[in-house]
Structure 1
Amino acid sequence: MEKEIIIQGENPIYGSLTIPSTEGKYPAILIIAGSGPLDRNGNDRKGKYTTNLYKELAEYMGGLGFVTFRYDKRGTGKRDGDWLAAGLSDLMVDAKKAVEFMMSHPNVDAQKVIVCGHSEGTIIATKLTESFELGGLMLLSGGVDNLMEFLKVQRQLAYKELFETPGIKGWLNRKLKVDVKGEKQVENLMKKMNQTDKDIIKIQFFFKQPAKWFREHSVCNTRETLKNVKCPVFALHGDKDPLVDNKVLTELAPLVTGKSEYHIIHNMEHGLRVQTEPRSILNARKIFKELMKRPLHEEGLQKISGWLETNFKNVESTDSKQEVS
C-alpha cells in the first residue's frame, strides 16, 4: 500500500510511504537519493534521466515486509526550491525530518529504522548516525569516501581513459598533460567556492555551480563519523561502477564499532543494474539508455534481502561478519 505524505515545514517535504497491508509495527527503510535534481523515484526534473531506481527499491523492500519512505529533493517533483542552492546542511535538514517522521509513525518499529543511502545519499545516511540511534545503515554505490574523494576517483579514471585512447588523441592527451591541467582547474574552482559565501556562483559567466554544496561537502569527514557507528552496516558496490573506488570498502569493518558486511557485485553498475560492457566513465552516458532497459541486478537484490532478513526479521542470527563477493 503506497500513499503520498507531506511533512510540513518551511519547505514541505513530499514523499511516498509504503506500508504492508496487515496491521502492526514493521521495520522501516528511509531511501536517500544521490546527487543532482532527483525526485523520490530517482528521476531528474526534465525527464532526460529516468531511472525509477528508488521506486523499484521501495517496491522490492516493501515486498520483503518493510515500511519504506522516499521523498523529493528540493526543486524536484512537487517540492519548491532550487536544487543548486541546497548545501549538504540543507539536505541533512530534510533527511532528519524524514527520520523523525518514520520513527513517530504508528506502523513503524522505531528501534528498527534503517537509512539506505545511494551514491551521495551514503554520505547523508552516514551523517544521520550522529543524530539518531538507527537500526541499520545501508550504503549503496558509495560509502567510506566523502564527496571530494568520490570526485577525485572519477577524475583519475577519466584521465586514465583519455591517456589510453588509441592513436593521435591519446598521444595528445598525454603530451598536453590533461591530468595536470584538470587538477589545476579543480583547485582554482574550489578556491572560488571557498572565497564566497554565495549558494551558487557562475563560472565563465554562464555555468552555474553549487558553491555551498561543494564547500560543505569539502569539510565532511565520513571516516570519522563511521568510527562512532554501532548499528549494523551494509555496503554494496558494483565492479562496473565508474563513480566509486571498490577498495575503500575494505576500510569499513576496521572503522565501525558494530557488525558490518560489504559486497562487490560482478557486472553491476552505479544504478544497481546489470552491465556487461566495460567499466568506463567516458562512455557512461552513451550506454545509459540501454542500461535503463535492464533489471536491477538479481545478485545485488539477493544480498540486500539477505542482510535485511538476517538483521531485522531473523533477530536470532546476530554474529558479526564481513563478506566480499
Structure 2
Amino acid sequence: MARTVPVRLEGDRLVVAPTRGQRLAGLIRGVSVPLGAIGDVRVVPDARGALRGIRAPGLAVPRRTYIGTWRRRGHRELVIARAGAPALRIELTGSRYDAMLLGTADPDGLAARIRDRRTHAPQIVVDSDGERLAGTLRLPAARTGPVPAVLLLPGSGPLDRDSDHRRATLGVTRLLADALADAGVASLRVDKRGTGASTGDFFRTGFLDTTRDAEAALAALAARPEVDAQRIVVAGHSEGAFHAVALGAEHGELAGVVLLSGAAHPAEEVLRYQGRAVLGTLPGPVRALLRLARIDVTALQRKRITALRATTTDVTGHGPLRTNARWFREFLQADPRPQVERLAPLPVLAVTGERDVQVDPADAELIARLTGGEAYRAPGVTHLLRRTPDAGGPSTYRRQSAEPLAEDVVERVVGFVRRVTERPRAADEQG
C-alpha cells in the first residue's frame, strides 16, 4: 500500500486520487474540490496527533497507517496518512468532507502551492434575494491591472460552479475558466442555490430566481477591483444561455455575449425537440421494445408537460422523485427570441454542436441572423461540448465528461472573448 496519497493541482481545483489499495483499505474514493472551497491549510508534524473522532469502517493498520473517514459530531474528515510522518491538514467548505488529512511526498511544498494558487482563485460570496451564493473568481496568473472577465453560467439541474452534478462531473464551466485564465481573462462562476457551498433549496428555486442570481453575480463581478467592469462578457451553457440572453438584453454595456448550446425558440418547443432527438439516440433494441410495448414517448412527454403546468406548489413528488415544479412552470413560459433580438447592439457568439440532442443545432445560425453576430456549428460535438463518434445522447454523458472540451469550441470562445474585450472602452472612445 502506498505511503502517500497522489494529490495534484488542476487549474483551480485540488484533486486527491487515492491508489486502488488506499480506496479498498479505507472504503473511500477520490475527491476534487475548488481551491475557493479551501479554508485553512497547514502542515502537522505527526498525523497521529492530528486525528479527531472515530473512524468509519475501513481496513487501515492501527498506529501505522490511517486511511478512511473520521467522524465526530457535525464533522467528517478524509484521512490518508502515516503515523509518525508529517501530513497536510486542509479545512473545507461546501464539500462532502469538512477537512482532509493527507500524507504527501512534500506537504510543505504542496501547502505553499495551494496558498499561491488560491490567490488566483479566491472564494467570493454573492448575495441574492437573501441567499448567499458561493463562487470562484478565477484570475490569470500574470496581470498588471484590472483585466477583462467572463461570467460563466451553467446548464440546468442541481449543478455547482463547475457544472458538476453529484453523479456526473461535467466540468463545462470549470474547463472554460481554465482556458480563459490561460488567455489572460478572469472569470466568475457560482454554485446554484442549494448546491456546493451556496445556501437555499435547489428544488424550491424558480427559473426566474436563477436569472436574478445571474444578475447578482454580474454585479458582484463588475465590482471586483481585479476586473475591468467595461470589459465583461456573459457566457451561458444550455439553460445558462437563457439567462445570458436575459442579462445581455438588459445590459447594453457588456462587451459581448456567448451562447453555448443555446436555444432561440420557446422552451416548450425545445423540450419537444429533445424528446424527438433523444429518442433517436436510443439503441435499436430499446426503440423496438418501446414500439412492441406501444409506448408513445412523445405522448408521455406531452402528458408530463401538461401535469407540470397544472402544479401550484414549488415542489412535487417525494424523495428521489421530487421535481422542482415552479422552475418548470416558469421555464415553460420562457421564449428567448424577443430578448435575443434585443442583443443586436452587442457582439454575440452562438455555438452548438452538430450532435446536440437537447437544442436544435440550427438555432446557432438563427441567433446569428437575429443579432448580426457569429455562429459556429461544431462538427461531431455534443450538448456537453465534447467531440464524440456516436450519437452523443444523454446515456453517454458520463463517458463524455471524462473527455476534454472540443478544442475548436474552446478556441472560438476564447478568441471571441479576447477580440471583443480588446476593443477600446467607452471612456477611451470619448476621450
Is the pair's TM-score, using the shorter chain for normalization, greater than 0.5?
A: yes
SS at match of 2:155: coil
SS at match of 2:289: helix
Could you tell me which residue of structure 2 aligns to residue 181 of structure 1?
299
**RCO (CA 8 Å, sep 6+): is it higher in 1 or 2?**
1
Once residues 141 and 238 of structure 1 are traced to their aligned partners in structure 2, the CA distance between those partners, rounded to angstroms, is: 7
Structure 2 counterparts to residues 139-218 of structure 1, below 5 A: 139-160=259-280, 165=285, 168-169=288-289, 171-172=291-292, 176=294, 178-179=296-297, 181-193=299-311, 196=312, 198-202=313-317, 207-218=321-332
SS at match of 1:272: coil
Once residues 38 and 267 of structure 1 are traced to their aligned partners in structure 2, the CA distance between those partners, rounded to angstroms, is: 25
Q: Structure 1 62/202 Cα, relative in aligned 2: closer, same or farther at 3 Å? A: same
- AA of the residue aligned to 1:61: L
Q: Structure 1 77/251 Cα, relative in aligned 2: closer, same or farther at 3 Å? A: same
Structure 2 counterparts to residues 2-21 of structure 1, below 5 A: 2-8=121-127, 10-20=130-140, 21=142
- AA of the residue aligned to 2:210: L
Q: Structure 1 183/78 Cα, relative in aligned 2: closer, same or farther at 3 Å? A: closer
SS at match of 2:162: coil
Match for residue 403 of structure 2 among 294, 307, 311: 294
Q: How far 1:315 moved relative to its partner?
A: 6.0
SS at match of 2:137: strand
Cα displacement string for residues 232-271 of structure 1 (whole angstroms, at most 9, x for unaligned residues) = 1101111122111011222213322xx4101111121222
Q: How far 1:275 moved relative to its partner?
A: 0.9
Q: Structure 1 170/255 Cα, relative in aligned 2: closer, same or farther at 3 Å? A: same
SS at match of 1:129: helix
Q: How far 1:131 moved relative to its partner?
A: 2.8
Could you tell me which residue of structure 1 aligns to residue 97 of structure 2?
none
Instruction: Name whichever structure is richer in strand by fraction.
Output: 2
Q: More deviation in 135-144 or 152-161?
A: 152-161
Could you tell me which residue of structure 1 aligns to residue 99 of structure 2?
none
Could you tell me which residue of structure 1 aligns to residue 158 of structure 2?
37
Q: Structure 1 252/310 Cα, relative in aligned 2: closer, same or farther at 3 Å? A: same
Q: Structure 1 275/262 Cα, relative in aligned 2: closer, same or farther at 3 Å? A: same
Match for residue 305 of structure 1 among 394, 399, 414: 414
Q: How far 1:24 moved relative to its partner?
A: 1.0
Could you tell me which residue of structure 1 aligns to residue 351 of structure 2?
236
Could you tell me which residue of structure 1 aligns to residue 190 of structure 2?
71
Once residues 179 and 288 of structure 1 are traced to their aligned partners in structure 2, the CA distance between those partners, rounded to angstroms, is: 21
Structure 1 or 2, whichever has the larger Rg, is 2
Cα displacement string for residues 181-221 of structure 1 (whole angstroms, at most 9, x for unaligned residues) = 3244134313423xx1x211228x98322121112112222
SS at match of 1:2: coil
Q: Which runs of 4 or more aligned residues in structure 1 lie more than 6 Å from their structure 2 counterparts after TM superposition? A: none
Once residues 167 and 114 of structure 1 are traced to their aligned partners in structure 2, the CA distance between those partners, rounded to angstroms, is: 42
Q: Is the 8 A contact 2:290 2:296 kept in 1?
A: no
Match for residue 223 of structure 1 among 332, 337, 351: 337
Match for residue 100 of structure 1 among 216, 219, 231: 219
Q: How far 1:95 moved relative to its partner?
A: 0.6
Q: Is the 8 A contact 2:138 2:188 kept in 1?
A: yes
Q: Is the 8 A contact 1:32 1:125 kept in 2?
A: yes
Could you tell me which residue of structure 2 aligns to residue 323 of structure 1?
none
Alpha-carbon RMSD across the aligned residues, in angstroms, is 2.4
Cα displacement string for residues 117-163 of structure 1 (whole angstroms, at most 9, x for unaligned residues) = 00100001101123322211101112313432221111112444569
Could you tell me which residue of structure 2 aligns to residue 268 of structure 1?
381
Q: Is the 8 A contact 2:163 2:170 kept in 1?
A: yes
Q: Is the 8 A contact 2:230 2:255 kept in 1?
A: yes
Q: Is the 8 A contact 1:27 1:113 kept in 2?
A: yes
Could you tell me which residue of structure 2 aligns to residue 320 of structure 1?
none
Once residues 7 and 277 of structure 1 are traced to their aligned partners in structure 2, the CA distance between those partners, rounded to angstroms, is: 40
Q: Structure 1 37/312 Cα, relative in aligned 2: closer, same or farther at 3 Å? A: same
Match for residue 110 of structure 1 among 213, 222, 229: 229
Once residues 362 and 127 of structure 2 are traced to their aligned partners in structure 1, the CA distance between those partners, rounded to angstroms, is: 41
SS at match of 1:130: helix
- AA of the residue aligned to 1:15: G
- AA of the residue aligned to 2:225: P
- AA of the residue aligned to 2:385: L
Once residues 166 and 247 of structure 1 are traced to their aligned partners in structure 2, the CA distance between those partners, rounded to angstroms, is: 28
1:82 aligns with 2:197: no
Aligned identity (percent) is: 27
Once residues 179 and 297 of structure 1 are traced to their aligned partners in structure 2, the CA distance between those partners, rounded to angstroms, is: 31
Q: Is the 8 A contact 1:25 1:107 kept in 2?
A: yes
